[in-house]
Amino acid sequence: MGNSYLNNVLKNLEIDINDSILDIGSAKGSALKTMLDFPFLNIDGTEISSKLAEISIKNLKTNKVKIFNQDASCFKHYNNHKYFYLYNPFPEIILKKVFNQMNKQIMGKEIFIIYNNPICHDLLINSKFLLVKQFPDAWNNGINLYKKSF
C-alpha cells in the first residue's frame, strides 16, 4: 500500500501533540487517514473539488479531520500548521501562489513540507526551502522532506 511510505516519513518526524498538519490537495483523504495514526493536534485538508471533499469526509468518518473545500492558493490558515503534505496536487504556477500565501501568513516558526512525487523540486529550492531528506515511495518518484524558517 502506498501510504506505508508516507507512514515511514511521518515516523521519522518529531511530531509534538501541539503540531498540526495540512494535506494540500487532499482528494479522497487517503493521506489524511494515514495521518490519523500520529499525535497531531489538528489534521486538515484543502480540496478544491467539492465532490472529492465530500468523498474524503465519508471515507474518514471522523471529526478529527477538517476538510476545507477551497482553492489552496486562497487558503487563509497556513500559519495554523507546522507540517504540510503534497502529492504533486497541481502545476507549478498554482504552487507558486500557494507559497506566496504561506510567505504572507507564516511568521516566527519553522515549517516542514512533505512532498510526494516532487515535480516542482526546483521551485521549493528557489523559494528558500532546504531539502532535509529523501524517502522512497511506491512508484520510485520519491518523497522529499523540506524545511524553512520564517
CA distances from 64 to 42, 48, 126, 146 (A): 7, 20, 34, 26
Confidence band of 138 (pLDDT split at 50, 70, 90): confident
Confidence band of 2 (pLDDT split at 50, 70, 90): low
DSSP assignment letter at 129? P
pTM recorded for the entire structure: 0.96
Residue-range domains of the chain with CATH = 3-149 (3.40.50.150)
- Closest among 65, 92, 88, 91 to 142, alpha carbons compared: 88
Mean pLDDT score of the chain, rounded to an integer? 95
Backbone angles phi, psi at 100, to 5 degrees: -60, -45
Model pLDDT for residues 64-117, shown as the tens digit of each residue: 999 999 999 999 999 999 999 999 999 999 999 999 999 999 999 999 999 999
